[in-house]
């Protein structure tokens, strides 16, 4: 550090080179933190996943891919992997269906309605995930005392729904937990849409549904993709919600990882599951960022184009 300080103070150092050294020094703490608490544990996790655990519990050589083979070929493990992907995709789709009305209300509603909607969306973030999941456990309880089943019984139906301890309960609760993370970036993207585009579509005879599908959705795709990426990756890596209300029929990779480490004491298998979860999250982020950049560049190009007269037939 003394040598770097001397170099920065030296008058013979090129100003551009000095700025580069200053940027390096300022980034060193954050880079060190990311290396020791993110990159290094990921490398250790990967190394454990290809090692062998002896009968005494020690982990070491020889190297093997048996754990990945079991994960991708065993019916139980493969079923949980597929179920994790299904729950993550279904949660993302359900969140999209709920996010658009909320985001449009925040942007285009009255001041009172917009503020109320923002409070409704943001308020759950102030409550612990465990507390929210307990609330869904009460609402989705399979017996007549459950909130949903009690309402069904009061409406005169005799059949009770079996929602708790299923993948559908995990999807519903996960959508509630991660919905604000989609609504906020989507509302920010919707706020950037020029009102003239919507007015032009209505003047040319386009219905509200056509205007929404042909103009609002394409121009809001950058915010949508950013929010969906967050919802998908967090859902695929979630543990608390599936552990509390998923049960055996709603198990996900996070729960399977906890069982392998704390119940079976199979650390290499748990490391393999953890590395697959990291790979799923990274793949989701990479794909989401690529699509976001593509849609952002397309939207910027469209907004820079001069206004042109669009035939009514093309809009309709």
For the stretch 229-280, pLDDT in tens is 999 999 999 999 999 998 888 899 999 999 988 888 888 998 999 989 989 9
- The listed CATH number (3.40.640.10, 3.30.70.260, 3.40.50.300, 1.10.3720.10) that belongs to domain 74-315: 1.10.3720.10
Does residue 213 carry a pLDDT above 70?
yes
Per-residue pLDDT for 99 more than 90?
A: yes
The rounded distance, in Å, linking the Cα atoms of 208 and 224 is 20
Q: Report percent pLDDT > 90 for the chain.
A: 25
So what's the pLDDT on residue 141? 87
- CA distance linking residue 70 with residue 78, whole number of Å: 9
More confident residue, 161 or 234: 234
pLDDT band at 57, cuts 50/70/90? confident
Enumerate the domain spans of the chain: 74-315
* d(C-alpha 226, C-alpha 292), whole Å: 7
Confidence of residue 62 (pLDDT cuts 50, 70, 90): confident
- Over the stretch 274-297, which tens digit does the pLDDT of each residue have? 989 989 988 888 888 887 777 666
CB 53 within 8 A of CB 59: yes
Least confident piece of the model among 36-45, 154-163, 225-234: 154-163
The answer to whether 91 and 235 are in contact (CB under 8 A) is: yes
3-state SS, 240-303, equals: HHHHHHHCHHHCCHHHHHHHHHHCCCCHHHHHHHHHHHHHHHHHHHHHHHHHHHHHHHHHHHHH
What integer is the mean pLDDT of 29-58? 86
pLDDT at 305 over 60: no
Cα 179 from Cα 97, distance rounded (Å): 10
pLDDT score recorded for residue 298: 57
Q: Can you give the pLDDT at residue 5?
A: 56
Q: Are 211 and 202 in contact (CB under 8 A)?
A: yes
- pLDDT of 198 reads 84
Identify the three-state secondary structure at position 164.
coil
Residue 83 has pLDDT above 90, yes or no: yes
What is the rounded CA–CA span in Å between residue 117 and residue 8? 52
Selection from 261, 276, 273, 278 nearest residue 53 by Cα:
261
**Hey, is 128 helix, strand or coil?**
coil
For the stretch 165-182, pLDDT in tens is 899 999 999 999 899 999
What mean pLDDT do residues 132-159 have? 84
Task: Report the predicted TM-score, pTM, of the whole model to 2 decimal places.
Answer: 0.81
Q: How confident is the model at residue 74 (pLDDT cuts 50, 70, 90)?
A: confident
Confidence (pLDDT) at 171? 94
In the predicted model, is pLDDT for residue 115 greater than 80? Answer: yes
Q: What is the dihedral of CA 270, 275, 278, 284, to 10 degrees?
A: -120
Q: How confident is the model at residue 310 (pLDDT cuts 50, 70, 90)?
A: very low
pLDDT band at 152, cuts 50/70/90? confident
């Amino acid at each position: 550090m003394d040598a770097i300080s001397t170099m920065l103070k030296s008058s013979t150092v090129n100003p551009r080179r000095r700025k580069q050294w200053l940027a390096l020094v300022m980034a060193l703490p954050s880079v060190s933190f990311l290396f020791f608490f993110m990159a290094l544990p990921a490398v250790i996790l990967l190394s454990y996943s290809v090692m062998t655990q002896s009968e005494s519990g020690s982990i070491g050589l020889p190297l093997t891919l048996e754990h990945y083979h079991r994960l991708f070929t065993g019916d139980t493990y493969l079923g949980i992997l597929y179920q994790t992907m299904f729950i993550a995709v279904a949660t993302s789709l359900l969140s999209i269906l709920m996010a658009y009305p909320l985001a449009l209300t925040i942007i285009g509603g009255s001041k009172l309605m917009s503020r109320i909607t923002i409070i409704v969306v943001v308020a759950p973030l102030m409550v612990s995930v465990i507390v929210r999941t307990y609330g869904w456990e009460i609402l989705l309880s399979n017996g007549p005392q459950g909130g949903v089943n009690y309402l069904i019984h009061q409406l005169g139906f005799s059949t009770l729904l079996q929602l708790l301890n299923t993948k559908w309960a995990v999807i519903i609760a996960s959508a509630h937990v991660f919905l604000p993370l989609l609504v906020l970036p989507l509302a920010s993207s919707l706020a950037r849409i020029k009102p003239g585009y919507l007015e032009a579509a209505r003047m040319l005879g386009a219905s509200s549904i056509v205007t929404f599908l042909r103009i609002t959705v394409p121009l809001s795709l950058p915010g949508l993709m950013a929010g969906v990426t967050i919802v998908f990756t967090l859902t695929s890596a979630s543990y608390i919600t599936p552990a509390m209300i998923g049960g055996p029929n709603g198990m996900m990779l996070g729960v399977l990882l906890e069982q392998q480490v704390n119940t079976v004491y199979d650390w290499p298998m748990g490391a393999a599951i953890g590395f697959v979860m990291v790979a799923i999250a990274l793949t989701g982020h990479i794909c989401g960022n690529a699509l976001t950049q593509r849609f952002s560049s397309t939207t910027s190009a469209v907004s820079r184009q001069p206004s042109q007269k669009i035939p009514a037939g093309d809009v309709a």
